[in-house]
Amino acid sequence: MALRHFLGHPWRTGTLLASLSLAACAGNGVGLDANGQPVGTGGGGPPPPLSADFSSIQANIFTPICSVCHIGGGAPEGLRLDAADSYNLLVGVPSTEVPSLDRVKPGDPDNSYIIQKLEGHAAVGAQMPFGCPTTQPCLTATTIAFIRQWISNGAPPPAVATVHAAPLTVTSIVPDAVEPVNESPPQIMVAFNHELDVWQIDSRSMHIEKIVPGESTASTLVSEVVPARVSVSNANLRALMVWPSHQLASGHYRLVINAGAPTQVSDLAGNSLALAVPSESGESVISTFDVEVHP
């Protein structure tokens, strides 16, 4: 009776029908990948079935769910989970919330921080995906089991990443020049497209400089050289970590490969890092970043 009364007014019925007609407005997805981007620009094609393989996990979980927030310079905890960055920022890299735990510890899912975050029993912060289960579904136990299995298998990289056709280059750095960080970074993470030759890299390979930028590279003044400990993750030979010897105060910094050092950044095939033209001193700058520490 009440419904008849409601629908008895033509304008009400019309408005209701107009509302319902919006159902037809959902995109049909033609020509798009799972992220709603044109095929070819965002990875392309439907994702493979979920399996205990990194490419599958990336396509089914990290890209469509996690990288909605974990992307770009503002990614929470500096953890970018887009296809270009995720592996190198996950495997063998200490978490920023609980530095004693690696985000992914190959062979040990129980002590991999990502599993603790996904299962909701991490010591710090909320369960991921953020807001689950209220605003979005949590990952099911079955889904998490695939990630567990991948980690138990040693967290192998995606198969395509082992092809060394391209020269050795940096794929991502955290922190980078996009946004300043508001506290001294405990480490600088440099990810590469190839596995590195750990025997060719040690703390003589690079250092951090505090700089006063000039109008050109040549006029840039170095106000402090910050020694750093350099190491390659045993679990991920494509992730290089640089640990400053002390906390960095506010200022402009750059990460520099030491000129003439007996050790150099190179991959297992012996290819040296392809960088921009070295400075007059022969040093090569990998990255610049700003620290803005607020009291």
In eight-state DSSP terms, residue 157 is P
Binding footprint of other proteins, residue count (CB under 8 A) = 52
Of 149, 179, 263, 271, the one binding other proteins (CB under 8 A) is 179
Strand, coil or helix: 142: helix
Contacts of 144 (CB under 8 A, 6+ apart): 115, 118, 119
Tokens of 275: 């960088």
Of 12-20, 86-94, 154-162, 251-259: span binding other proteins (CB under 8 A): 12-20
Of 100, 134, 216, 219, the one binding other proteins (CB under 8 A) is 134
Q: What is the chain's Cα-based Rg?
A: 24
Give backbone dihedrals phi and psi of 196, rounded to 5 degrees, phi first: -90, 155
| 8 interacts with other proteins by CB under 8 A | no
Where are the alpha helices (H) located in the chain, listed in sequence order? 2-7, 10-21, 54-57, 86-90, 113-119, 141-152
**233 near 219, Cβ under 8 Å?**
no
Binding mask 197-236 for other proteins (x = CB under 8 A): ----------------------------------------
Give backbone dihedrals phi and psi of 221, rounded to 5 degrees, phi first: -100, 140
Closer to other proteins by CB, 107 or 133: give it: 133
| 184 interacts with other proteins by CB under 8 A | no
| 21 interacts with other proteins by CB under 8 A | yes
Closer to other proteins by CB, 64 or 158: give it: 64
Q: How far is the CB of 214 from other proteins (least distance, A)?
A: 21
Strand, coil or helix: 1: coil
Q: How far is the CB of 15 from other proteins (least distance, A)?
A: 6
Of 1, 4, 8, 31, the one binding other proteins (CB under 8 A) is 31
Name the β-bridge partners of 210: 224, 253
Q: Where on the chain is the footprint of other proteins (CB under 8 A)?
A: 2, 6, 11-12, 14-16, 18-23, 25-38, 46-47, 64-65, 72-74, 125-126, 133-138, 140, 142-143, 178-182, 292, 294
